[in-house]
Amino acid sequence: MNRLAIPATTQRSAAAFAMPEQSRIKAEVLAEIAQHPFHPPWWLRNAHVQTVAARYGRRVARPEGLRVERWDTPDGDFLDVYFLDGDPAMPTALLLHGLEGSIDSTYFLALIHELARHGWNVAAMEFRSCSGEMNRAARMYHSGETEDIGFVASRLIARNPKVALYVAGYSLGGNVTAKWFGEMGDRLPANVRAGAAISAPYDLVKSAEHMDGLRLSRLYVLHFLRYLVPKAIEKDRQHPGIINVERARRAWTFRDFDNHATAPLHGFADAHDYYSNVGCGRFLPEVQRPLLLLSAGDDPFNPGRTLPRELAASQPYLHPLFTDRGGHCGFIQPGPGGLENWAERRVVEFFEAYRKRTRGER
């Protein structure tokens, strides 16, 4: 269910480097990014301040020209995909938001603005049930669902067989991005040149335990459950008996909710089966395209001990950008116009580094 085979195009892959060559390029790109380290001031060093201020401490409007298309999926459902046109000669960035995010998530809009500033084209996908309208199928979305990103990528390629795609995902969307890169391996469409996973959970078992067990992190859990539980109830009204709606209604932890809603909705035995099988960390060894891993060691969602430091240092396609501070999807620091996001600039810098190293990039 979570794999979608996409025929490789005849277009030459920009990242089909021999291993020694790719290792050399990786070192160059990381050296370029290292010229702009993340140094938050003392009053922005706390992980929770970073996490909350990134969401509520700045205002980011939808850019002019943003338009939406509703695409019917092969299983009779729909996806909303937002587009922002840039320079026709520039690549397209395919973006994925985090848990219960949407096109209006602050980090999403901020990255769109940063890409637009460099002339990039944008395609931003909203996960099923996140568009403000409940999706139709007897399922929603989850951390390891890669069928939809494969569908959207294949349709973008069908529209323009020469398109160069760069993929960026935040949190849950970062997990989906990294998992897709790993499970596809060298079968990833040649049009997909590079990706970035921001604040992704590399080990969902440990991340869920971390969030459900710590007092402050529990506040985030309760925040998400305020949105997830009503969705589960509405999904059960659409498809009666598909989940244990009474147990889901009383959920106070991610594990409770995922045991009684996410797992049965998507074919997993229970929450542990779900967490064990979809965390992107187990797929990273098979990544065959440049992938930026941008995370903070103090992430209140994902414990720092789960960062794949050794693997990322040794695998030529993995580009670790692990900071001591930054929170979850935070990485904000003061700028001339107010708070600005360091991570968004590093993602675009990473994409630009590979674009400039590719001949005939579009």
Of 210, 260, 319, 328, the catalytic one is 328
Would you call 299 a catalytic residue per the annotation?
yes
Contact 112, 60 (CB under 8 A): no
Would you call 142 a catalytic residue per the annotation?
no
Question: Within a 10 A sphere around the Cβ of 185, how many other Cβ atoms?
Answer: 13
Spatial CB neighbours of 349, under 8 Å, sequence gap ≥ 6: 32, 33, 36
Of 203, 258, 298, 299, the catalytic one is 299
d(CA 338, CA 56): 13
Of 13, 105, 171, 217, the catalytic one is 171
Q: 301: number of CA atoms within 13 Å, CB side?
A: 28
d(CA 262, CA 267): 9
Would you call 207 a catalytic residue per the annotation?
no
Torsion over CA: 119, 317, 201, 296 (sign): negative
Spacing of C-alpha 153 from chain mean position = 14
Q: How far is CA 15 from CA 26, 29, 166, in A?
A: 11, 13, 12
Q: Which residues are catalytic?
A: 171, 299, 328
